[in-house]
Structure 1
Amino acid sequence: MIDVHRLRIFRSVVANGSISAAADLLGMTGSAVSQHMAALQKQTGLALLERVGRGVEPTAAGRTLAAESEPLMSEVKRLESVITDLREGNTGSLSIGYFASVGSLWLPRIARRLQSEMPDLVLEMILTEGYPTGESPPVDIDVVPDDPRETLRPGYSITPLTSDPFVALLPQDHRLARRRSVPMIELAEESWISSDISAGVTESLIARACAAAGFRPRYTVEAQDHYTAAAFVAAGVGIAVIPDLAGRTRLPTGVRRVRLTRPVPTRDIVALTAPVARANPAAARAVELLREIATKPAPRG
């Protein structure tokens, strides 16, 4: 098993490009750092560093190890923080991952409630949206659209929060803009604007709903986020189909929000709690608050 302490020293050497600079930063002697690097290379069976001038550079294997160790070191740092909090009896810290619309509509209320109930709590909110599958930063609680590629994380507990139907965004002068609801098939001939930053569950839910209605959407612009997509709609470039929660944030002037029918694409939103956070009372309370807020309609922007 790889030695985490040596791995941390190795990452410092790579970042500084020098054994001596890493030693100064870590409060160690240069010989001690060199010995740790020799031991790590022996342990891994890899040549990780090579001399370049007066300094060192990672080999190809070294660069890969440094990059791939980033999630591990983030998790180690988080565990060390948990241990410190447990030892000192602190309320501790809590990290919550989110996607954009949840961040603007739910998390301010969550933060206000948690800090009023737990004044010593340190909150860290991390945007986890848009990362490749399995590469998002480690957090105690991750609020995500339910997606088998993301939500089936070993050891994590899943708490359903709400179902979020999709709506259509139309220019205010669009032929359908005055309707209260629109069947999906009536959007078949429109120019569509994509708004799924990760080309993930949102895009697949829309594609399935369109297929069920008997057509395939014709995308002419890839905006990659709901807010930019809404701006394109306001400019008359096309129409967008986005989750209702995203549509409840402030929309540009000139954009109409219309309900969809036959069928209604819907995403489920869940909270994933990491194994290390299960004993954290702040995490348990945060999930309770998330369930409470998710059941109340968010105000329209």
Structure 2
Amino acid sequence: MRPLLDLRHLQLIQAIIETGRITDAAEKLGVTPSALSHRLREAERRLDVPLFTRMHKRLRVTPAAEYLAVVAERVLSDLSRAEEDVRRMNAGIQHVVRLSVEAYSNYRWLPAFIKFLKSRTEAIDLQIMASARSDPLTGVQNRQIDIAVMSGDITQPGLASLPLFEDPLLYIMAPTHRLADRRYVEGSDIVGEPFITYTKVPRPDREFARLFRPTDSYPTWAATVELPEAIVELVASDLGTSVLSNWALRTAIAEGRIVGAQVTEDGITIPWCAVLRTEDMQEDDPIRVVANLLAEWCGQTDSGFHIT
């Protein structure tokens, strides 16, 4: 059965949702507004359902368009990847593996790992999908990425994980902070402290459950900033404190811009792993090969990602 819609229809749905206006969407796609309007009417006629409704000169998305937009993102992503794969094949690359790291956009470890990867295989290229870091598990499930580097224990149907390294959480502050000379901090130390977090969703193995709740000691929530690198800059300017993973903080600590203390006397250590689809777990699958090499590379030192 021939599909009612083609790629042009999916592209226009995406463009209209992103811009909210026919004229802006047409400019984004490089067509005239009248041509885009005609294409939209054609799509609605073929489906026999409205995709957008007008309100105050803007287009409001209907549930049908929202659903098609999700499909469009997956289809267009797969098509873009296929085109990129074909181009890279001509340069001797046979496989492209897409990877993203949960929450963090610190990729100072990447050049060293790529050199390690190339020393083992020239046929696999690594593509970093930084835009997927906010929800990498969904990215793996939707095939937008192939490997998600995640913290914590990941148990979801259809997904498998390979251990990479263990990494401590650090309580970070400005060098002039009153706790800057502490080797570790306890709950009583941080009561009332301005605290910047990238998520207020408690996790059972993090500071909420293992530092704040056990002692009924809480900081003052100063801000929620979803980019850890921005949190580091705010902390360095003494605008608050935070708790983040040690591996992503080494550069800022080495430069003396922030100070890190262990979280509780015993410390809180978090496991990091490579998450991939169960169907990609065969030993000769390029995705599994990259995951295995990443685990091997991380295991060469006790510090996980080798950031220099």
TM-score (norm 1): 0.70
Pick from 217, 220, 228: which aligns with 1:218?
A: 220
Q: SS of 2:138's equivalent?
A: coil
**SS state of the match for residue 239, structure 2?**
coil
Q: Provide the C-alpha distance between the structure 2 equivalents of 1:191 and 1:283, rounded to a whole number of angstroms.
A: 43
2:147 to 132, 141, 146: 141
User: 1:208-236: per-residue Cα shift (whole Å, max 9, x none)?
Assistant: 12112331222223343333223233322
Provide Cα deviations, 1:127-166, integer angstroms capped at 9, x if missing partner: 222249736772111111236xxx4443222112222221
CA separation of 1:249/1:49 partners in 2, compared to 1, >3 Å: closer, same or farther?
same
Structure 1 residues 230-251: Cα deviation after superposition (integer angstroms, max 9, x where no partner):
3233322332222212222334
The alpha-carbon distance between structure 1 residues 243 and 286, as it changes in their structure 2 partners (threshold 3 A), is same
Which residue of structure 1 aligns with residue 295 of structure 2? 291
User: What does the per-residue CA deviation read over 1:88-140, in whole Å, with 9 as the maximum and x for residues that have no partner?
Assistant: 99622111122365752433322222234333433211122224973677211
Which residue number in structure 1 is paired with residue 9 of structure 2? Answer: 10
2:65 is the alignment partner of 1:66: no
> What is the CA–CA distance in structure 2 between the aligned matches of 1:211 and 1:58, rounded to whole Å?
43
1:38-73 deviation line (CA, Å, top 9, x unaligned): 8951xxx634489xxxxxx99735532332213431
The question of whether the paired residues in 2 share the 8 Å contact of 1:248 and 1:299 is answered with no
Q: 1:168 to 1:300 in 2, by over 3 A?
A: farther
Quick one: distance in 2 between partners of 1:80 and 1:300? Answer: 32
Matches for 1:101-112 after TM superposition, within 5 Å: 101=104, 103-112=106-115
Distance 2:270 2:204 in 1: 11
Matched, 1:242 2:241: no
Q: Which amino acid aligns with 1:230?
A: V
Is 1:124 aligned to 2:91, yes or no? no
Q: Which moved more, 1:137-146 or 1:109-118?
A: 109-118
Q: CA deviation at 1:84?
A: 6.9
Q: How does 1:141-160 map to 2 (within 5 A)?
A: 141-146=147-152, 151-160=154-163
Q: Which residue of 2 aligns with 1:282?
A: 286
Residue matched to 1:206: 207
Gaps of 5+ in 1: 19-23, 26-32, 51-56
Compare 247-256 and 283-292 and name the one that shifted more.
Answer: 247-256
- How many residues end up aligned between the 2 structures? 277
Indicate the SS of the match to 1:143: strand
1:144 touches 1:269 (CA, 8 Å); kept in 2? Answer: yes
Supply the AA of the counterpart residue of 1:144.
M
Q: Secondary structure at the match of 2:134?
A: coil
- Give the distance between the partners of 2:162 and 2:135, measured in 1 at CA: 21
8 Å CA contact 1:106–1:293 kept in 2: the answer is no
Which residue in the other structure is 1:30 paired with? none
2:100/2:136 contact within 8 Å kept: no
Cα displacement (A) at 1:80: 5.1
Q: Give, as a single letter, the amino acid of the residue that structure 2 aligns with 1:215.
A: S
* Residue correspondence of structure 1 range 38-49 to structure 2 within 5 A: 41=47, 46-48=49-51
Contact 1:161 1:270 in 2 (8 A): yes
Matched residue SS, 2:65: helix
CA distance in structure 2 between the aligned counterparts of 1:58 and 1:255, rounded to whole angstroms: 46
Matched residue SS, 1:288: helix
Separation in 1, partners of 2:265, 2:104: 25
**Offset at 1:262?**
4.0
Q: Distance in 2 between matches of 1:184 and 1:205?
A: 14
Q: Distance in 2 between matches of 1:103 and 1:229?
A: 13
Q: Which runs of 5+ in 2 are unaligned?
A: 17-21, 24-29, 32-38, 54-58
C-alpha contact 1:207 1:217 (8 A) present in aligned 2: no
Check 1:131–1:83 CA distance in 2 against 1; reply closer, same or farther (3 A cut): closer
The residue identity in structure 2 corresponding to 1:143 is V
The 2-side partners of 1:103 and 1:129 are apart by 11
